[in-house]
A and B are shown apart, each in its own frame.
Chain A
């Protein structure tokens, strides 16, 4: 009887019912213990619990003790926040220091954070002057992106939200790459199609950013599963993981929950990295959730989870390093990192955050802690950095950005055919006719259009061979 019940449960669990496979064949597969649904087997064995057992052994909760005390579970204490450096840049616990990071690496991380902050300042202002249409800065969150990127392999796959410029910078996106995208020139990998800061690079394994929130999180679960299957099929290739970034606001979307759950059930080697910066545009975390941040949800989905001080780049680097190891352990599994920070900037150039938060709140945060300052203090304590190096670096970086900026500003936009290319692999008959119509319009009314800014002018409308 028990085994019959077990078979029924198994059929349900794997969604087979009577249609596809017979019970006999399932029973046979179970008896050989080579079943593909071993986890289910474990669960329905547990249904046939021993008499007088002290545990509930329902398929949905296999190790829950019986109790006669009626207690609702309420919010526990907040999960701790891991840090390596204190606010003064010293090791918070000198007895417990992560593996040494080389001075070169430390300096690269520092410079990448500073570069992002300098470019942000310039491009924020460029938007204010009407030179680009939109921009988003990373102020206060540079350590999360640069620190986590520093612990990934260069070919690990990344899905970003939109405030991960530090990841692109660390991976090797060049000033020219940034400017080509921001000014939507013909050198933009996105072919002038996307709003500024929606970067992407196949060479650097960075999927192109999409504005809708949280949509990339299930992609990351699926992409990681693809990497896992491919690693099984090519065992000599080094194993890779996926890293996926999003904010605490995006974690309210259904896609977040679906993604964590499916990643857990399929054992996807993915590192979910939540940047909890306290605000989703104007919405403070109190209106966003009432649980213990985003980290508590990872635990709910059966995912190894850690909370880290996002202003501490060495802490972010270390948790990502260990998360990566965990993600690849055994048959693969997801890991959730919640990096705590504060969104020092406005949400974007379209936002004036002083409409919903006090200026003094922002000023206080800036004064109290800053990921760049903290690493700088650490570098100075280790005699790796000083004021003159700082000055020289900042001036050089500024020049680098402005040089790329001036170059991109003069560059033409991509050819007009790019408005239609890539919707489908090739133009449809209807699209071809539409582009013909557009050409006729442009030729009939030449004074009504300025196509001189587009590469190849009118010929740019010709279909790609």
Chain B
């Protein structure tokens, strides 16, 4: 549990030698921390947020508030609980607000029958959610960290994903309405068990949707869509963005489309495909590369990792002729492999260079080595350079 808190307790260290475990090299030009205050991937004004054509008219005509990603999740959950009596929210430490504060004040507002702590058992709480969904509720089950979802793997893979298929004509005995939320991704010091992004384990499973939002606005709309979805959804929230990503988010409730990618930036020479936190890395690399190499680069956020929006990606690569896929988790059998294979099938004659995958190496994320394992700006920049020079 890595929630940073500001309070200091005691002062037992007499001499302070500042050796920070999270820093960047002094002469770095590429590998700088993301400036969330200026990145074009976040809406820094109300006007920019409300211009989003995917929003409902009501949302577009409303107001916005400037919130971070955990507040956006909290707002979406509050809306779902308020407007749909079938929605329930539960998981480990959910009642007091959750270790990342996503469920703050929800137990007091909606009561302990619908927002509650579960015993510490992921298989138990996901199975519980499946049962509740099968009997008509819309449960939102929280796994405290994606790294701890594996005891629930059986329930998701063998039960949630297959319930409707095996029931055949026995309609209504499926797991639609089940959303399994989990914080994922690297934060700089999570090591083996607070860093993982196991999305590709779920994208192999027909029957579940896998969604990863990139920002507060996306998180709110995609989470509400997930809760409404007639199929079970694995909803992975990049935990570093909970506090870091702040933007204007419409006050009104709205959904954003599942299974649809979004082109964040148009370009004609290269298509970069990513999702979640690495989009910010890609954006920084694009800014530097466009300046250095006289090119324009298209950036696509998959948003739903499976079933995914193949057409948006294929038509983009058919336009640009070059493709890079970027994700945090290991490159081997990762999402990049699926995207690359599909691009190869759909754009073969148009490709100017082999599809590049910039992803985590084939290893576990050791504490001291995270910045060398997870893709950084320099590695994406280098891949851009490579496909241009090929």
Q: Which residues of A contact B (CB under 8 A)?
A: 121-122, 124-126, 128-134, 184, 191-195, 198, 210-213, 249-250, 252-255, 280-283, 287-289, 347-348, 350-352, 355-356, 402, 406, 409, 413-414, 416, 418-420, 423, 428, 430-431, 434-435, 438, 441, 444-445, 447-450, 454
Contacts and interface: CB of A to CB of B under 8 A. Distances in A.
Given A195-B367, A409-B19, 12 more contacts: A124-B9, A124-B12, A134-B189, A184-B368, A252-B120, A281-B99, A287-B95, A347-B1, A350-B5, A351-B3, A409-B17, A449-B372
B332 A253 contact: no
A193 B192 CA distance: 7
Instruction: Indicate the member of B192, B376, B379 with the most A CB atoms within 10 Å.
Output: B192
If over half of B's interface residues share one DSSP class (helix, strand or loop), that class is named, otherwise mixed; here it is loop
Interface in B186-245: 188-194
Given A193-B366, A254-B121, A445 B30 contact: yes
A146 to B, nearest CB: 21
Nearest to A131: B19
B168 interface: no
B362 A430 contact: yes
B91 to A, nearest CB: 10
B367 A133 contact: yes
B61 to A, nearest CB: 37
B298 interface: no
Contacts of A211: 147, 191-194
Given A350-B4, A447-B27, A125 B366 contact: no
Contacts of B123: 253-254
B366 A121 contact: no
Given A350-B2, A352-B7, A449 B13 contact: no
B93 interface: yes
Nearest to A191: B366
A125 B194 contact: no
B25 A350 contact: no
Interface in B6-36: 7-25, 27-31
B117 interface: yes
Contact of B378 (A129, A131, A445): A445
B165 interface: no
A195 B10 contact: no
B151 interface: yes
A283 B93 contact: yes
B363 interface: yes
Contacts of A129: 13, 16
Nearest to A283: B117
A128 B8 contact: yes
22 contacts: A131-B18, A184-B368, A211-B147, A212-B147, A253-B123, A253-B151, A254-B123, A280-B92, A281-B1, A283-B120, A287-B95, A287-B118, A350-B5, A409-B19, A419-B366, A420-B361, A431-B362, A441-B382, A444-B382, A448-B28, A448-B376, A449-B371
B93 A282 contact: yes
A133 B124 contact: no
Contact of B151 (A122, A194, A198, A255): A255
A269 B189 CA distance: 37
